[in-house]
Structure 1
Amino acid sequence: MNQISVLYPEIDLLDEQGRSFVKLRQADEMHVSSISQTTALDLNSLSQFNNWLSLTPSAGVAVASSNKQLMTCTFEYSKLVQAKDGSGAIGIVYKEGSNKFGAHGRFHEAKNLKSLITTGLILNVASQVLAQKHLADINERLKSIDQQIKGIRQFLEQSRMVKIEAFKEHLQRVGMLLKEGEHVHTDTLHLLAQKSQEVRAQVIHIGRDLEDANKEINDFDSNSWFGSNDLRDALKNKIGRIGHLQREYLIGLQCLLAANLILFIKHGGNKEFVIAGNSYLDELGGQHGLVEQWNVTKRRVNFHLSKMKPVFEWAKSTQANAHLVEAKVAEVQERISQDTAKVRELQQQLVHAQNPRVLLELEGQRVVRGYYL
């Protein structure tokens, strides 16, 4: 459903099943003044709204005339008796070969069309202009992904992360086309969908390695007689590996969600990509997902540190090593918080793309300002 807040009478447009697909609501000046200027529509978007709004009357007629439920009759129009003044047909049918009435036409009034104004074209402008807003953000998201990859390149599992990095580069090329308003060829979108499946397989593989890495922490032996230095180094290395695998996994998810947003918009709102995105988030935050695995691992690390009490070592030395391990855990926690937030932000953009909303300010039936909501 597209919702447009606009200085205009309140209008609801319903489809044949009674579902609202466009809403127009009047907004007060306080609402307008509270909108951030950073969300303002550019001049090109305002021009598109004005072009489409100027065609409002003809758009309403076109949609109404193509709606089979607007008015139906039990006889074809040509069989009805034509009015003598030429203004239409009378709902009567003559008997064949005579001037006697043979039957009456039965008409059915439309029940599902609540309003007849700014229908198809407003839906078009809402989906296209607002989709461009979401697609314009793709480049910024991809820059963030690129920085994450560069930051951990020396730790990457080359056999699979190379594919994810190549996928990211493909996304960047598509993003550049979208930013410049260029046409994205169907073959390019098909290739994007195909590469998404390949990257999804890599992400699943990383997830399995992550499970094994967490298990290594669970099975870790924290007993020692002669010192905790080796325990400290071993724990830090294992925690570090978990951190790198988490970043690889989350980078892969971010790429997949960016691709989903592009494919969702360019394929006319296909729900397949919404379902896929929701499944990624369910996987991330599920009972056995990355977040819960990490929470379990943190508790296990704390348990190991509580058991780490070598006999032949000063207590303050053991405590110092424990603090170093805790600092490593905090470092990994900070990164996972940042990366999971980016994943959720991308999925939220997909949610917003399903229900685009914009506020328009009209003067003299022309749009003079507009804001994304």
Structure 2
Amino acid sequence: MSSAPTLPIDSPPRPRPTPAAWCFALGAVLLTFAFCAVQLHWRSYFAVPLPWSDSARSIARCALALSVPAVAMGVLRGLKDRWSVLGVTVAASLFCAAYAEVLHTWIVDRANFDPNFHTNAEWQWNLHNAIMGLERWCAPHVFRFLPDCIVSFNFWLTGDREWSIHVFRFGANTALFAMILRYARVYLSVVWSFGPMLVVAMLYPVTILRYNGQFTDPLAHFSLVAGLFFLARRHEPGFFAAFFAGILAKESINLLAPCRCFHGNWRRSFLLGFIYLAAGLALTVAVRRYIQGPIPVAYTSISGTGARQVFGNWGARGIWWPMYAVTIGALLPGAVAGWRHIDAAFRATCVTVVLGTIASNLFISLMWEVRNVVPAFIPLAILNFRYLETVLARGTATPRLNRSGASQVTAPSRV
């Protein structure tokens, strides 16, 4: 049986991006680099809040809070939906992010995994200060300074440490959930596109069970999903911005480069994928040289970890294998069922993201920090809901007579 056609439900991609789109993407990347450079160079200045009155700081806190729904609306901009549907979409993104923030506060922030600190929240702020001080001892976290620069800027405006962290994490998760929904809309209809977002929210408590709460993850996940969305839409400027700005949040964003090889004309795509990979790795090494000075090109000097990390992770498999079983393992059967109902580019991208995030966790991070493999949930969830949508569409098909008078089943339109 032939697979279902893969026509985007989201507005169709433009065949060739405009110069304005490229200018916007390049400007966004340069602005991100400049923002980080200013924050890190004058870090002692931004470490002290502005000498504002209490009323002015309250206004700053309200402005930051109002920026969160604005972020969701910005991510979802371009959807050709009625205002009522768009309102539900924005509300769902905000609800999932608020749900995640409440869980994070009580499961992670108020717990204590390090005996040197009273809570994980105290550990987070200590790590944040070390990252903003470019302290080498906290590698590889010090190489992922973009999220901490945003938190530092929030603190500079408000003078409120907890508010600065909560607003950043709430905003980044709102953008993440909105982008998950936007990405799902490329392959699923309006109602079914809410499924992957809800699956990620449902699995969220499992992903933060063994996790200290460092700031990098929400923004890094958003960058990776945004890159996948722009790839699916064939929007090169957006992919360019998500790729290079995202590397400042986490080096695993380089995983987008091989994904670029699967979209479009294969010769051009493989060439661009190689260029992105080379440029991304060059930026990754440049960040490390900027912080650590001249370093040898070796695995331990770039990642901050060595071969012991791999053996240590494997030795602790009794801790993390149940977490993978109830997250990725639970999504695999439905993904296998939906495999033939989606295009080859998506399938190749799915395999790359799933294996790449697991390998990154094995070699660079800790395997029980399942939070690092959240991006793998998203294509797997899309495959699950693509299968359900296809099967239910066939089940609700309506019979009609063909020209010869025989009964013929016709599935309803997905658009």
User: TM-score band (shorter)?
Assistant: under 0.3
> TM-score normalised to the size of structure 1?
0.26
Bigger Rg over Cα: 1
Which is helix-richer, 1 or 2? 2
Which structure ranks higher in relative contact order (CA pairs < 8 Å, sequence separation ≥ 6)?
Answer: 1
